[in-house]
Structure 1
Amino acid sequence: MTDKESDRISCLPDHIIDHFLSRLSIKEAGRTSVLSNKWRKKWSTQPDLVFDKQCVSAAVSEDPSVIENKFVRTVDHVLLLHSGPINKFKISDFGCDFIGMISVADVDRWILHLTRRSIKNLELDIWFEQRYNIPWCLFSCQSLHHLNLFCSSLKPPAMFEGFMNLKSLQLEQVTVAKDAFENLISGSPLLEKLVLKKVDGFTQINIHSPSIKYVDIRGNFEGISFDNTSQLAKVFVNLSSYLNSETGQSMFHGCSSNLLKFFDHLHNIQSLLIASYSIKYLAAGVVPVKLPTLCINLTFLSICLNFNDLTEISAVLCLLKSSPNLQTFKMFARLKEETDLLTHTSYCWEDIFSEPDMLLKLQHVEIQDISGTKSELDFIRFLLLYSPVLKKMIVEPVENVKPELITELIRFRRASEQAEVIYKAKDS
């Protein structure tokens, strides 16, 4: 047998070796250098570098500062020996014994090195006692395609006009001023994905981005407005500001119609998820029976609402009647809240659940956490009555719900002969 035949691993095509190495951690990839001469430096050309708890091994009793020192030396060593382009650099101390111990100077040094290497994907998932100030050198890195920052502070220089090639931006527990944020978004002409989680520095979000396609907003924000977002297709909203009903009511004072404002530039939205108490924001002000511009592309809608609040119910009905091609609808009942809106004198089926101008095209409906109240059952009756192409409705009530609920569901008339109503009881 020849040496060439015995060393088959060195005969593998480069793209196969690269794919194999991409599945390994930095530590494991480095160990492959002993396999053969061809593999000796192969690890140092890998374009995706991920540094996490798998990079260092430590004895159970080893001091966290010693582990942190090993981690920093590993990052420095890899960056020093690495040759070729670096497409992705991710560093995370999540799950590490030395969490929160990496110094600012170390991260500054790494970012400076990466900006000189035309990094495309940068993910900083490091915990600091105080927000890490992103160095100015990063704002000159126009090669960035994806930027993911955690526990940081963004203070761009005055001359910063955005990232020309940025496609994805995720900020979690990041502090940034309102003007700086808006300039960053509007100045990134290729931005398609935006994720904001617990971002502070402003309370009103204004998004101006003709290229944006996906938005995920979670945090203590008071309102959202979209402008020039014709390509925006998927939106997830969770506004924790509205957890406090008194705070929410103070925000509503003097507003005309948040529903109209919110959907004014969402003409092509396809998927909308309104979590937790966020429907309170949309229901503020005057709730129209139907939006002036229909959401003809909306096919998926998920909402969490209080069935004791007729204003919230009206807002949801408005969305249903304004979405002629909606196919999947998920509804989650919130915990009961005190409200004066739902009374025997004010509640009327004919007034609230009026027949829509166009029959609903719902095919799949899922309703969770209901307790069998009149308003909940009336909502279900409305959906069954005006959904002629409905295929399946899943109803999953809270625990220990009254057994009469099943009887009520069976008795409701259905516009669709194929509609299957599935009752899923929660395990006690």
Structure 2
Amino acid sequence: MSRLTLKEAVRTSILSKKWKQLWKCYPKLVFTRCTMRKLGHQKPMRTRFIRGINSVLRQLKSTILCKFVVKFGLRERHRHHINRWVKFSAVLRTKHVVFDFCPGPKGSTDTDDRYSFPLDMFNASGGSYVKHLRLGFVSLTLPSDISGFKHLKKLYLHKVIITGNFGAYYQNALFLSG
């Protein structure tokens, strides 16, 4: 089951009653434009994308996630949903975390509408489990008392605005490799 994509795992639910619930323990959640169904036009597409993620997360029964990926052109106005996803990935001690909100080729590049990524959610719970963190088109305000991400091996930041002392953050990630 772990070698299947989420979409393939969900499709196995039609095989039998036993398999119907099995996909709900899937350890790798990848939500991108490609992994979601055809989404249609831009605004309803975002709405359907958000609803799709929320629907999967409501049904999920996993207690630990290996991978949680959200790659889609979302913004600060979607904060309510994104914050829940960030908290969800922190609580489930996800090792590989991706939140990439870079716009598509026709999307807005308005820097005032970037999602403010809440690093403090990972400080409170789950940050010490993250080994790979990828953030795109977000803004980061680094807290002075950063304590999470001690086992971080890979950090990838793309079009990220950083406020605060990045040096202190970098020093706390003892296993970070170049």
TM-score by length of 1: 0.36
Aligned to 2:47: 69
- Unaligned ranges ≥5, structure 1: 1-16, 94-98, 193-213, 215-428
Q: For residue 26 of structure 2, what is the amino acid of its counterpart?
A: Q
Q: For residue 137 of structure 1, what is the amino acid of its counterpart?
A: M
Between the aligned partners of 1:157 and 1:100, the Cα distance in structure 2 is 24
Aligned to 2:107: none
How many aligned positions are there?
164
Q: Is the 8 A contact 1:162 1:186 kept in 2?
A: no
> Cα deviation per residue 1:80-105 (whole Å; 9 max; x = unaligned)?
21122111101112xxxxx3467122
Q: For residue 163 of structure 1, what is the amino acid of its counterpart?
A: F
Q: Secondary structure at 1:124's aligned position in 2?
A: strand
> Cα deviation per residue 1:328-369 (whole Å; 9 max; x = unaligned)?
xxxxxxxxxxxxxxxxxxxxxxxxxxxxxxxxxxxxxxxxxx
Q: For residue 43 of structure 1, what is the amino acid of its counterpart?
A: W
Q: Secondary structure at 1:119's aligned position in 2?
A: coil
Q: 1:37 aligns with which of 13, 17, 26?
A: 17
Aligned to 1:191: 176
Q: For residue 29 of structure 1, what is the amino acid of its counterpart?
A: A
Q: Secondary structure at 1:148's aligned position in 2?
A: strand
Q: Is the 8 A contact 2:9 2:26 kept in 1?
A: no
Aligned to 1:89: 68
Between the aligned partners of 1:155 and 1:123, the Cα distance in structure 2 is 18
Q: For residue 13 of structure 2, what is the amino acid of its counterpart?
A: S
Say whether residues 1:147 and 2:129 are aligned partners: no
Aligned to 1:27: 7
Aligned to 1:46: 26
Gap change, CA 1:162 and 1:187, over 3 Å in 2:
farther
C-alpha RMSD of the superposition: 2.0
Alignment of 1:259-408 (within 5 A): none
Alignment of 1:124-273 (within 5 A): 124-127=99-102, 129=110, 130-135=113-118, 136-140=120-124, 141-177=127-163, 180-192=165-177, 214=178
Q: For residue 174 of structure 2, what is the amino acid of its counterpart?
A: P
Aligned to 2:95: 120
Between the aligned partners of 2:45 and 2:9, the Cα distance in structure 1 is 20
Say whether residues 1:79 and 2:57 are aligned partners: yes
Aligned to 1:196: none
Gap change, CA 1:115 and 1:162, over 3 Å in 2:
closer
TM-score by length of 2: 0.81
Shift of residue 137 of structure 1? 1.0
Q: For residue 36 of structure 2, what is the amino acid of its counterpart?
A: C
Between the aligned partners of 1:157 and 1:126, the Cα distance in structure 2 is 22
Identity %: 27
Say whether residues 1:103 and 2:78 are aligned partners: yes
Between the aligned partners of 1:51 and 1:161, the Cα distance in structure 2 is 28
Moved over 4 A (4+): none
Q: Is the 8 A contact 1:124 1:149 kept in 2?
A: yes
> Cα deviation per residue 1:46-90 (whole Å; 9 max; x = unaligned)?
1111001121224xxx44222222211111111121122111101
Gap change, CA 1:52 and 1:125, over 3 Å in 2:
same
Between the aligned partners of 1:132 and 1:66, the Cα distance in structure 2 is 19
Q: Is the 8 A contact 1:27 1:56 kept in 2?
A: no
Q: For residue 32 of structure 1, what is the amino acid of its counterpart?
A: T
- The structure with more radius of gyration: 1
Between the aligned partners of 1:139 and 1:154, the Cα distance in structure 2 is 14
Q: For residue 175 of structure 2, what is the amino acid of its counterpart?
A: L
Q: For residue 82 of structure 1, what is the amino acid of its counterpart?
A: L
